[in-house]
């Protein structure tokens, strides 16, 4: 299995993160956006390989012209820096205006005894969803990359300690599987990132923007294994302090053979992901060669 070139953790060290949070409790986010867009993003574009993968995404996947692809590559990096700043602004106690489309789907599943899944991707700013889609009846367990920076995990834990949201860190041992299983047996909500895989994780190939791309089989397998209902949750930045959450139920034939269920579910998820990315093409933050 090809190992994707993805570091898997937030850039910067603990000191930098703390300084950013401190500054965000005093400085308007617009000042940091401006600073980042003028000074940080151009440097990143020169130094990082992300400019190539972003360019490929706009030029070859969306089919934009050269000039537009170059401009979108810059915008994409600006938007990414803004959502990272927003994330830290949230840790610093800043509030955002968050609207939800499809809340009724969340409420309908929340009222049942059975567990259900949230599937998300590295688009927009999923972390913002944690506060708006919090449930009073069920605990939300967010499956996260286990080797994220300690400072980021600490900030997340501080933020989520006031809610009924917990994190399940994906590590090399089997402990996270037991936690996922326990959460499902309790009838809770489990949230999976569904667009990245590491090491020997099994993948499923799907048509994504008309080209073959690999997605981790895990989240779809877990859903099919237990016959769980699934929601796609995408959180897009639509204004300076404004986010829009899109909650969409994903349908699949629960009576079909397991393999077919997994393929159907993955197909439904990818169709929804593609729909959001056609609306917000600049908010795709998988900075590696996603398409083979």
The full length of the chain comes to 292
Q: Which stretch binds other proteins (CB under 8 A): 30-38, 126-134, 194-202, 228-236?
A: 194-202
- Which of 173, 292 has the CB closer to other proteins? 173
Give one word for 214, left, alpha or beta, with left for phi > 0 and alpha for psi -120 to 50: beta
Touching other proteins, residues 259-288 (CB under 8 A): 259
Instruction: Give min distance, CB of 215 to other proteins, in A.
Output: 13
Q: Which of 99, 201, 207, 253 binds other proteins (CB under 8 A)?
A: 201
Stretch that binds other proteins, among 43-51, 54-62, 88-96, 213-221 (CB under 8 A): 213-221
* Residue 204 phi, psi (nearest 5): -130, 135
Q: Give the burial class of 45: count Cβ atoms within 10 A of its Cβ; 0-12 exposed, 13-18 middle, 19 or more buried.
A: middle
Burial of 162 (0-12, 13-18, 19+ CB in 10 A): exposed
Compose the 218-257 pattern: x for residues touching other proteins by CB under 8 A, - for all others.
x--xx--xx------------------------------x
What does the alpha-carbon distance between residue 51 and residue 53 come to, in Å, rounded to a whole number? Answer: 6
User: Closest separation between CB of residue 182 and other proteins, Å?
Assistant: 8
Smallest gap from residue 172 Cβ to other proteins (A): 9
Q: Which residues of the chain form beta strands (DSSP E)?
A: 97-101, 116-120, 140-145, 165-170, 189-193, 203-208, 211-216, 229-239, 242-250
- CA pair distance 160, 155, nearest whole angstrom: 8
Interface region with other proteins, contact rule CB under 8 A, candidates 74-82, 139-147, 195-203, 243-251: 195-203
> Does residue 4 belong to the site contacting other proteins (CB under 8 A)?
no
Between 67 and 174, name the residue whose CB sits nearer to other proteins.
Answer: 174
Site string for other proteins, 79-98 (x = CB under 8 A): --------------------
Q: Total residues contacting other proteins (rule CB under 8 A)? A: 20
Nearer to other proteins, 202 or 251 (CB): 202
To the nearest whole angstrom, how small is the minimum distance from the Cβ of residue 180 to other proteins?
A: 7
For residue 121, the minimal CB distance to other proteins (Å) is: 18
CA atoms of 266 and 219, how far apart (whole Å) = 9
Angle at 284 between CA 289 and CA 17, to 5 degrees: 100
The two structure tokens encoding residue 272 = 């929804």
Q: Given phi > 0 = left and psi -120 to 50 = alpha, else beta, which region is 162?
A: alpha
Q: Which residues bind other proteins (CB under 8 A)?
A: 173-175, 177-178, 180-182, 200-202, 217-218, 221-222, 225-226, 257-259
């Amino acid at each position: 299995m090809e190992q994707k070139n993805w570091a898997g953790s937030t850039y910067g060290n603990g000191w930098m993160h703390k300084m950013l949070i401190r500054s965000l409790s005093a400085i308007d986010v617009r000042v940091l956006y401006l600073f980042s867009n003028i000074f940080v993003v151009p440097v990143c574009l020169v130094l990082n390989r992300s400019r190539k993968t972003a360019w490929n995404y706009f030029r070859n996947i969306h089919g934009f012209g050269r000039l537009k692809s170059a401009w979108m590559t810059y915008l994409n990096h600006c938007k990414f820096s803004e959502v990272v700043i927003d994330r830290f602004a949230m840790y610093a106690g800043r509030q955002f205006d968050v609207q939800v489309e499809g809340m009724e789907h969340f409420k309908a599943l929340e009222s049942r005894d059975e567990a259900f899944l949230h599937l998300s991707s590295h688009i927009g700013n999923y972390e913002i969803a944690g506060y708006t889609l919090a449930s009073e009846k069920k605990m939300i367990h967010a499956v996260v990359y286990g080797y994220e920076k300690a400072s980021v995990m600490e900030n997340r834990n501080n933020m989520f300690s006031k809610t009924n949201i917990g994190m399940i860190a994906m590590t090399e041992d089997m402990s996270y599987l037991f936690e996922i299983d326990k959460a499902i047996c309790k009838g809770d909500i489990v949230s999976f990132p569904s667009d990245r895989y590491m090491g020997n994780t099994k993948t499923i190939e799907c048509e994504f923007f008309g080209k073959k791309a690999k997605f981790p089989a895990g989240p779809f397998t877990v859903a099919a294994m237990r016959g769980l209902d699934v929601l796609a949750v995408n959180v897009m930045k639509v204004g300076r302090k404004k986010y829009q959450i899109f909650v969409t139920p994903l349908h699949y034939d629960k009576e079909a053979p397991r393999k077919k269920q997994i393929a159907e579910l993955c197909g439904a998820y990818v169709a929804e992901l593609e729909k959001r990315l056609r609306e917000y093409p600049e908010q795709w933050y998988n900075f590696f060669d996603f398409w083979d």
